[in-house]
Structure 1
Amino acid sequence: MSATPSPGSHPSRRLFLGMAATVPLAVTGTLTLGALPAHAADSAYVMGYFTESTTMLEANYGLHLAVSTDGLRWMPLNQNNPVVTPTAGAGGLRDPFIMRKQDGTFVVLATDLKGTDWNYNSQYIHVWDSADLRAFTGYRRLKLHDMVTHSWAPEAFWDAGRGQYGIIYSSVNSSGHNVIMVNYTTDFRTVTSPQVFFDPGYDIIDGDLAVGVNGVNYLYYKKDQTLVGARSTTLAPGSFTPFSTPVSHGGTEAPALVKSLISGTWYLWGDTYSPNGVFYAWQSNDLASGTWTALDQRLYTQPLNSKHCTIETITTGEYDNLVAKWGSPAWNRLKSYNYPGRYVRHADNVGRIDPYPFDPYPDSQWKLVPGLADSTGVSFQSVNYPTRYLRHYSYNLRLDENDGTSTFAADATFHKTAGLADSSWSSFRSHNFPTRYIRHTDYVLRIDPISTTTEKADATFYVGY
C-alpha cells in the first residue's frame, strides 16, 4: 500500500545475534552500552509478535512470545497462543514492541488495531508493564495525539540527553502523508505533545532505531515496499538524512536493525506484506555503508505465522523462567535444507514440502513420537489428524490411519541421523528399508537410497518450530 500503508511487521528491535554468556550487557532495545543498571549478562532472546496466515485461519491479535538461544531459530511459547490480549480500544494489537527500561523491568507497546481495517484511526497505543514477561500489569491505552489518524508501529528508545524515553510511531500529520512522529515520556503514562521526528517528504512507516553506533544513530523505515535508512549524529527531531541503498524481497516492510554479539556483522530484517508474512534478512559488515547482502535463509526460522516481531535480549535465568511459565511446543516443523523456504506438510494425504506460509497451517505441525515399531526411532504423528502418521507406501510418503499392524508400524518408523548434507541438521532413515532415507523429489516426499550431493541435500531437514 502507498497512500495508507498497513502497519509493518518488524522482526526485531536491534537484536544481537549469537551466544555469549560472559559478554557484558550490550545495546538492548535502543539503549547504548552501559545504559542499564548492572544485572546478569544477557545471553538469550525473547520475541513478541501477533499471528496471521494466508487465509487468516491463524489470525490472532494478542501478544505472543517466543525465545531463542541464538537469536536466529525461535521456539514459540504457550503453544503459539497469546500470553496477553488487549481489552480496550479495538480489542486487539498489531506491531508489539518490548523494551527493557532503565530500571531493568520491561514495557510493552503495541498498535491499537485488530485485524486489517486500515481506516480504523486510533490516537492511542496499548501499554503494559512487566517485571519478567511472565505477568503483565498496569494495562492502559496511552493517547499520543489529537489528529484524526492512526498511531502505528510504536517503538521506544532512551534519549540520555533528554533524560526521557522517546516513543516513535507512524502517523499522518499536516503533510498529508505518513511520517515518523515522536512523543517523550518518563513513565509511559503521560507524554509530551507530538513532534515530527522524521519526514523525508514522502510516505513512510515503520521506523526502527539503532542508537549510538560509533557516534551515529540509524533509523530504518519502509518506503515504497522497500527498506531504507537514514542517519543522524543526534537524536533531535528533524535531524535524520536518508543515505542507504533500498533493499526488499517482494513487498517488504518493518525493518529491524540487528548486531551480532560475536562479530561486527549487522543484520537488517524485513517482513513481507501481510498476511503472507515471511521474514527475510540482509547482512553488512559496515552499518555506515548502507549496503546489504541477503542472508542465507537456512540460518533463521521464524515462529509459526509470526508477524511484526520485536526482539529483546534476556538473561539465561529469564529464558528458563519463560519456558517454565509458558511451556515449549508439543509439536515441530521440518524445514527443507536445499529449499529453506519450504516445510514438510501433508496435502490431500500426500507428504510433500511446500513454501511457507500456507493454510491450513497445522498440516505442517508434527509430533515426533517414539517409533511405532522401535522406540529408539521416531514416527511423525499429524497434529490436525492425530490418528494418522506419515508412512511410506511403494516408497512414497503419505498420511495414513494407524491400522495397528506391524507393517504399518514399520512403514511409519524412521531413525533420526546427522544430516547427510549438514551434520547440524537431520536426516531420517527408514526402519524397514534401512538403505533408504526420507527425501523430496519434485517437492513430494519418498524414501530412496542416497548417494549424490543433490540427494543428500534433498534428504536433509531442520527440526524446529
Structure 2
Amino acid sequence: MSIPTRPRALSRRSFLGAAAATSVALAADVSLGARTAHAADSAYVMGYFTESPLNNGNDYGLHLAVSTDSLNWMPLNQNAPVVTPTAGAGGLRDPFILRKQDGAFVVLATDLKGTDWGYNSQYIHVWDSADLRTFTNYRRPKLHGMATHSWAPEAFWDASRGQYALIYSSVNSTGHSVIMVNYTTDFLTVSAPQVFFDPGYDVIDGDMAVGVNGVNYLFFKNSATGGLTGARSTSLNPGSFVPFGTSLAHGGTEAPTLVKSLTSNTWYLWGDTYTPNGVLYAWQTNDLAAGSWTPVDQRLYTHPLNAKHCTIAAITAGQHSNLVTRWGAPAWNRLKSYNFPDRYVRHANLIARLDTYPFDPYPDSQWKLVPGLADASGVSFQSVNYPTRYLRHFNYALRLDESDGTAGFAADATFHRVAGLADASWASFRSHNNPTRYVRHSDYTLRIDPVVTATDRADATFSVGY
C-alpha cells in the first residue's frame, strides 16, 4: 500500500463564513458548512494551528480567533495555543470545531506534529468543551486498523442514522487517497470504517454542507488538479456523492471550508493556498448548486497571523464576549496595504516597507500602537520584537530607530490617525511635525509625502487589524 506524498505547507479548513455587515440573527437554524448555525448566532470562532515560512511561527496546538463579521479575525491568547495534545504525536494539525446537537462543542484534530508525513496514526485527537474556554475529556479514538493515516477529521450530524458521521482522509486498498467515514454518538466508540467518497483519484480534506435545498455538498482537494472540487448527493450515504463543477485554485490549493453567511445568501469557499505563498484565499457564490465561484477581494478579509488549516463555527454574541474575556485580545496590530492587500507593513534591516505575506521573522510585522510620543492624541508605532525602537521619519523615509529621548525624535515618531484617504473605513496616518505629509509606500518602502493623486491616496491607506 503506497502512501501519498503531501506538500509541506498544508492548510485545510480555512476560515470564514459570512460577509455580515451587521450582527442580525436568523429566524431559524441554517446549515453552516458541516456545522449548524442557530437563530441567536451573530459571531464566529475559528480554530487553527500555525506555521510560517522559516518555521519561526510553527505551533501545533489549537489556536482560536473570533470575528463579528466572519471576514476580519482577532486571534485570542496572543495567537498562542489554548490547548495542546498530551498523547500521540504531541501535536495537532487540521482542527475542526463542531457544535453538537446538545449545543456543546467537540474539537477534532489530526494526530500529527509538524510535517512528519511518515507518522501514520490511526487515531485522532478529541476534546469536549462546553464553551471553548475549557477543554475536557481528552481522548484518542482509533478510526481504523490500516497501516496509514487519519488526516483532517471533521463531523456532521446524520439525522437518518441518529449519529454523527466522522469523515477523514486516508488511503484505501487500491493505494490512493479517499475520504473515509465512521459513525459515532460520543466521539469515543466508532463504527467500522467505510469509504465515504472515492472518485477514482486522490482526494483529501473533505468539507460538508448538509441539507441545502435537499442536496448535500462535499468539497475536497482534488490532487489531480491541485485545487478544490465539489461533489453532491441527495443522500448522505457513503458512495453516493458525484463530482460537479470546475476545480478552483489560487496556486496549489487544499483544505476547503464551505460556510454560509448568517445574514445573506452568500456562500464562501475557503482554501489554503500552500503554493506559492501559503495563505488563505476565498471564493464566493450566491448559488451553491450552480458551481460558479468568484474570488473575494482580499481587502475584505484578514485571517489570523500564520493561521493554517482552519475551521469555523458560528457562536452567539455572549460566547464571543466570553471568549475574549477568557483569552484576551492581542497587544499588537498588523497593517495591511489598501492597494496591495497581500502585503503588510514590516521592518527589514530597520527600514519600514511592505512585503508580501507570509514572511519570517513574522514579528517584524507586529506593532504596538501606543500614545504618540510627542502628542498623546496621536499614535506611535512601537516594534514588538525591538521594543525600544519606533517607526520614525528621517529625511522623509520611515525607519526603525531607538528613541533618544529628544523632542525631535518624539515628533518624528508621532502620527495622527485619520479616516483612510482612499477608503474612509480604513486608516491613514498624518505626520505630526510635517502635517501636510502622510505615511505612504513608494516602491514598497514607507515614507511621508504630500498626497495629491488617487494613487497617492491608495498608497497612504492601510487596514489596522491583526
User: TM over 0.5, yes or no?
Assistant: yes
Asked if the contact 1:29/1:100 (under 8 Å) is kept, the reply is no
Q: 1:30 aligned to 2:34?
A: yes
SS class of match (1:243):
strand
SS class of match (1:88):
coil
Shift of 1:244: 1.3
After superposition, the Cα gap between the structure-2 partners of 1:83 and 1:241, relative to the gap in structure 1 and judged at 3 Å, is same
Query: Residue in 2 aligned with 1:155?
Result: 154
Asked if the contact 2:344/2:354 (under 8 Å) is kept, the reply is yes
SS class of match (1:432):
coil
Query: Residue in 2 aligned with 1:181?
Result: 180
Q: How does 1:89-108 map to 2 (within 5 A)?
A: 89-108=88-107
Distance 1:136 1:354 in 2: 37
Deviates more, 1:69-78 or 1:21-30: 21-30
Query: Residue in 2 aligned with 1:21?
Result: 24
SS class of match (1:410):
helix
Distance 1:240 1:444 in 2: 50
Shift of 1:20: 3.2
Distance 1:150 1:296 in 2: 36
Structure 2, gaps ≥5 residues long: none
Query: Residue in 2 aligned with 1:75?
Result: 74
Q: CA offsets, 1:202-231, max 9 Å, x none?
A: 011000001111111110100132011100
Distance 1:379 1:5 in 2: 44
Query: Residue in 2 aligned with 1:417?
Result: 418
Asked if the contact 1:168/1:181 (under 8 Å) is kept, the reply is yes
Asked if the contact 1:99/1:107 (under 8 Å) is kept, the reply is yes
Q: CA offsets, 1:349-382, max 9 Å, x none?
A: 0000000000000000000000000000000000
Distance 2:318 2:332 in 1: 24
Q: 1:254 aligned to 2:255?
A: yes
The one-letter amino acid of 1:353's match is L
Query: Residue in 1 aligned with 2:222?
Result: 223
Q: 1:234 aligned to 2:235?
A: yes
Q: CA offsets, 1:162-207, max 9 Å, x none?
A: 1000000000010210000000000111000000000000011000
Shift of 1:141: 0.5
The one-letter amino acid of 1:254's match is A
Shift of 1:264: 1.5
Q: CA offsets, 1:239-268, max 9 Å, x none?
A: 000001111011111111122222212111
The one-letter amino acid of 2:125's match is H
Q: How does 1:255-274 map to 2 (within 5 A)?
A: 255-273=256-274
Distance 2:428 2:252 in 1: 34
Shift of 1:26: 2.6
Q: How does 1:207-218 map to 2 (within 5 A)?
A: 207-218=206-217
Shift of 1:286: 1.2
Q: 1:192 aligned to 2:191?
A: yes
Distance 1:326 1:420 in 2: 34
Q: CA offsets, 1:408-436, max 9 Å, x none?
A: 00000000000000000000000000000
The one-letter amino acid of 2:177's match is N
Asked if the contact 2:35/2:98 (under 8 Å) is kept, the reply is no
Query: Residue in 1 aligned with 2:347?
Result: 346
Distance 1:69 1:14 in 2: 10
Asked if the contact 2:16/2:71 (under 8 Å) is kept, the reply is no
Asked if the contact 2:336/2:345 (under 8 Å) is kept, the reply is yes
SS class of match (2:30):
coil
Distance 1:141 1:8 in 2: 22
The one-letter amino acid of 1:316's match is A
Asked if the contact 2:24/2:263 (under 8 Å) is kept, the reply is no
Query: Residue in 1 aligned with 2:280?
Result: 279
Asked if the contact 1:8/1:206 (under 8 Å) is kept, the reply is no
Asked if the contact 1:377/1:413 (under 8 Å) is kept, the reply is yes
The one-letter amino acid of 1:433's match is N
The one-letter amino acid of 2:23's match is A
SS class of match (1:116):
coil
Shift of 1:8: 4.6
Backbone CA RMSD of aligned residues? 1.5
Asked if the contact 2:251/2:276 (under 8 Å) is kept, the reply is no
Shift of 1:30: 2.1
The one-letter amino acid of 2:17's match is L
What is the count of residue pairs matched by the alignment? 459
The one-letter amino acid of 1:21's match is V
Query: Residue in 1 aligned with 2:434?
Result: 433
The one-letter amino acid of 2:229's match is V
Distance 1:198 1:343 in 2: 40
Shift of 1:3: 3.2
Distance 1:202 1:49 in 2: 27
After superposition, the Cα gap between the structure-2 partners of 1:14 and 1:217, relative to the gap in structure 1 and judged at 3 Å, is farther
Distance 1:394 1:203 in 2: 57
Shift of 1:288: 0.7
SS class of match (2:386):
coil
The one-letter amino acid of 1:77's match is L
Shift of 1:292: 1.1
Asked if the contact 1:53/1:275 (under 8 Å) is kept, the reply is no
Asked if the contact 1:53/1:276 (under 8 Å) is kept, the reply is no
Asked if the contact 1:105/1:132 (under 8 Å) is kept, the reply is yes
Q: CA offsets, 1:118-155, max 9 Å, x none?
A: 11100000000000000000001110000000000000
Query: Residue in 2 aligned with 1:49?
Result: 48
Distance 1:227 1:10 in 2: 10
Shift of 1:29: 5.4
TM-score (norm 2): 0.96
The one-letter amino acid of 2:343's match is R
Shift of 1:13: 7.1
Deviates more, 1:263-272 or 1:60-69: 263-272
